[in-house]
Structure formats: structure tokens, C-alpha cells
Chains A and B, each alone.
Chain A
Amino acid sequence: MEFLTESHYYRVMPFLFEGLVYTLMITIAGLLIGFVLGAIFGLARLTKNKFIYGIASIYVEVVRGTPILAQILFIYFGLPDLLEWNIDKVTASIIAIALNAGAYIAEIVRGAVYSIDKGQSEAGRSIGLNKSQTMRYIIWPQAFRRMIPPLGNQFIISLKDTSLFSVIAVSELLYMGQQYYGTTFAAFEALTMVCVLYLCITIPTSLYLRKVERRLDV
């Protein structure tokens, strides 16, 4: 037993658990905000109002067209430099995930709402529901079901993206692993366990999603 508890595989774990808490916190907080952004900008991309559509399109294209690594550096170093404010690392990370996932979720929302048959909104409007009631009671509930699989997918992507924030030294999972082998030189053991912990989240998520998808099929 002593052999096991003395090993780097074991001794790295307290560090990694601490990192995992940050990773999950940043991912979940970022995605909650990202979903709100995605819903707003996704619906904005469906309006006939050219101004609103334009604003939403610029947001989506800028975010999707630049690497998330540049985005986090921009938020953590770039903007504070220009605006002379301070931002802490975790907040910057949450904002980065929110803005980044928001753009992709906007496309998920747009696609899901667009995929609902036009007859549904015609039926809603013809009984006298107004536009927003039709969206809220008829279109959105149906569209939301179709969003679940791609949203789960986005969760996995965003979770892995948080590892890039090690560049600003936020104490997320990968950064904590790096810290460990920086002092112990046990890079193989530390990085192996980092990957195992990522997989412990991503594999069950993706299995669960496959199940949900099958249920939505029927």
C-alpha cells in the first residue's frame, strides 16, 4: 500500500481535485451565461430586422472566427490595458467561456428554432396567440428538445476549452497538473491523471447524450 500512496499518481490528486472544481465552476457558470447570450443572439439572427440581425451576426462571426486562446488573452490582458480596470482570472475565464459558447449556442438555437415546421407558428397565430406567445408556448418548447444534444456537445467542448486558460494561470485542472510536475518533474504521471479526470466527466456526458438522442428520435 505504501508503494501506492507514495506514487505520484496518488499524490497529484489533491491538486487535481482542486483544479477540477475550478474547471467545472468556470464551465458551468460560463455556459449558463452563454446559454442566455445564445438564446438572445440566436433569436436575433431569426428576426427580419436587419439591424438586430446584423449585430448578432457580427458577434457570432467575430467569436467563431477567432481562436479562444486569443479571446481569453484579450479579455484578461487586452481590455484591462485599454480600459484601466482589473479583472480577476476566474471572472475573465467565465466571461471567455460565456462569450465563446454564446456564439456557438446562438447557432444551435437558430438552427433548432428554424427546424420547427412553419405550420406550428401558423397554427399558433391563427388561434390568436401573438408572436411572443407563439414563440414561448409553441416553438421554444419544441426547439429546446432539439437543442439538448448539441448543447451537451457544447458542454464537452467548453469544458476542454477551459484548459487553455492555464495561460493566464487560473487554477483549473490542467494548470494544477502543470504546477505539480513543475516541482516534482513527474510530468507523465501528472498529465495522465489530468486526462483521466477530463475523461471522467466527458465520457459519461457523451454516453448520457447518446441516450437522450435515442429517446428524442422516437
Chain B
Amino acid sequence: MMITVKDLHKSFGKNEVLKGIDLEVEEQEVVCVIGPSGSGKSTFLRCMNLLEEVTSGDVYIEGDNLTDPKVNINEVRSRVGMVFQHFNLFPHMTVLENITIGPKKIKGHSKEKAEEEARPLLDRVGLQDKADVYPESLSGGQKQRVAIARSLAMNPKIMLFDEPTSALDPELVGDVLAVMKDLAQEGMTMVVVTHEMGFAKEVGDRVLFMDEGVVMEEDTPENLFDNPQNPRTQEFLSKVL
């Protein structure tokens, strides 16, 4: 199992946002998480690389329990790529430096080796000509593709996507989704929090519908979108589809 989540609870102060979530993700599986805003889906995703502290329950990444103090969280995170809604590129570094900082500082690669490995990644996200520019001169879609390349530079086994297209102009969404679809087809294990129902339907192996801090329904995209069982799922889908 690539990811195992057991009875995950998360509270911010007195506000309990995650009320006991279980999940298992197999190698090469693409799991999409949908649900209304405030349902806890982003928090859930952020618990999977411990960007949020877990209140109770366990999260295992390839068998390593993240809540075990003996586990080196930095090492685990280097195996788990994360893509954010607002890209979070490093504005003081060029595109190439954004991508190579991880391999240089964590894997100890030389500048030359890191850059040599970064070029094919830039090709892969269609930005080979942008290596030496700063993020501020890129469009949102280009920024997000650089962010994906930055994560891939660490050769992660798992990629987490936190609403990767929600901050993009509609005409820029397609390029980012295309890169994500390629990744999925190459066999990357992915968990994607998204509002793109088309993407979830086409690329997802499984779709989770979350609301009020729990997984209300979980099924194949065909079943969940075409024949939802839970009334909350039905209500949500009737609004967004």
C-alpha cells in the first residue's frame, strides 16, 4: 500500500475538521477527492505529508508512520510531491533554480547534474524555453507546471495535488490537467483534491466525496458520478454538474 490512513482526526482548536477518515491508496492508483469547500478535503491532503499536524489517527506512507517521532519526516516528504493551489514557486529563483534546489540541497547533487536532470522535466511540462526566467514573468498555468516539475525533480513515489487548477484562468486549466493526465498514465500514484469533475471522471481510478469532515461516499468515477447513493453526494453533484 502506498498510502494508508487510519481513523484520522484533525482539529483546529475546538473546531474538528476531520472526523475519522480511512483511506488506502495502491501503487499507480489515482484517487480524486471532491466535495464542497470547507469539507476538509485540503486539510486531509495536507495531513498526508504532515503539513498539518495530525490530532489523532495514523498516516502511513509506504509503511512509514508519519506520526511516529522516529520517522524522518523530511525524508518521507522528499518521496511525496505536493502541488499547491497558489503554486508557491520561489520568486527569488529562476525556473531552473526552483526545480534544482531540492536535488542540490537534499540529494547533494552537483549543479550540473541537477540541471541535466531538470531539462527533461521542463520538456515534459512544455516549458523548455523558460529555464532561465523568474516566476513573475510566467502565466498561472506555466507557474503550476513549473511547480509540478519542481516536485518531480525529487523523483517522488506519490504526488499530492491541492486544487491545482482552482487559481487559474479557465483557458489555462487544460495545459495543467494534460500534464497531470500524462503523469497518471505513466503510473504515478496520485491523490488529487479538485473541482474539475471532468478530470476526476476521466483520470481517476476512484473518487471520494467528502463533506463535513468525513468521506460520505467512495466509488469508481462511473458509479459515483452516474449513480450516486448518498443523498449528500446527489445534492452536491446536481449543483456542480
Complex Cα–Cα for A119 and B91 (A) = 12
**Residues of chain B within 8 A of A128, CB atoms compared:** 74-75, 77-78, 102, 106, 154
**Residues of chain B within 8 A of A83, CB atoms compared:** none
Interface residue? B49 (CB, 8 A): yes
Please state if A125 and B84 are interface contacts (CB–CB under 8 Å): no
Interface residue? B105 (CB, 8 A): yes
Interface residue? A211 (CB, 8 A): no
Please state if A122 and B51 are interface contacts (CB–CB under 8 Å): yes
**Residues of chain B within 8 A of A133, CB atoms compared:** 105-106
Residue of B74, B80, B91, B147 near A142 (CB, 8 A) is B91
Please state if A127 and B101 are interface contacts (CB–CB under 8 Å): yes
Kindly provide the distance from the CB of A113 to the nearest chain B CB, expressed in whole angstroms: 14
Whether A126 touches B90, Cβ cut-off 8 Å, given contacts A119-B84, A137-B101, is: no
Interface size class of B (residues with CB under 8 A): 20 to 34
Interface residue? A141 (CB, 8 A): yes
Interface residue? A192 (CB, 8 A): no
Determine the main DSSP class of A at the interface with B: helix
Interface residue? B86 (CB, 8 A): yes
Please state if B102 and A129 are interface contacts (CB–CB under 8 Å): yes
Interface residue? B82 (CB, 8 A): yes
- Give per-residue flags for B76-96: 1 if the beta carbon is below 8 A from chain A beta carbons, else 0: 011011101010111110000
**Residues of chain B within 8 A of A145, CB atoms compared:** 92
Which chain B residues have a beta carbon within 8 Å of chain A's beta carbons? 49, 51, 74-75, 77-78, 80-82, 84, 86, 88-92, 101-102, 105-106, 147, 150-151, 153-154
Nearest 5 Cβ contacts at the A-B interface: A128-B78, A123-B88, A126-B82, A119-B88, A127-B102
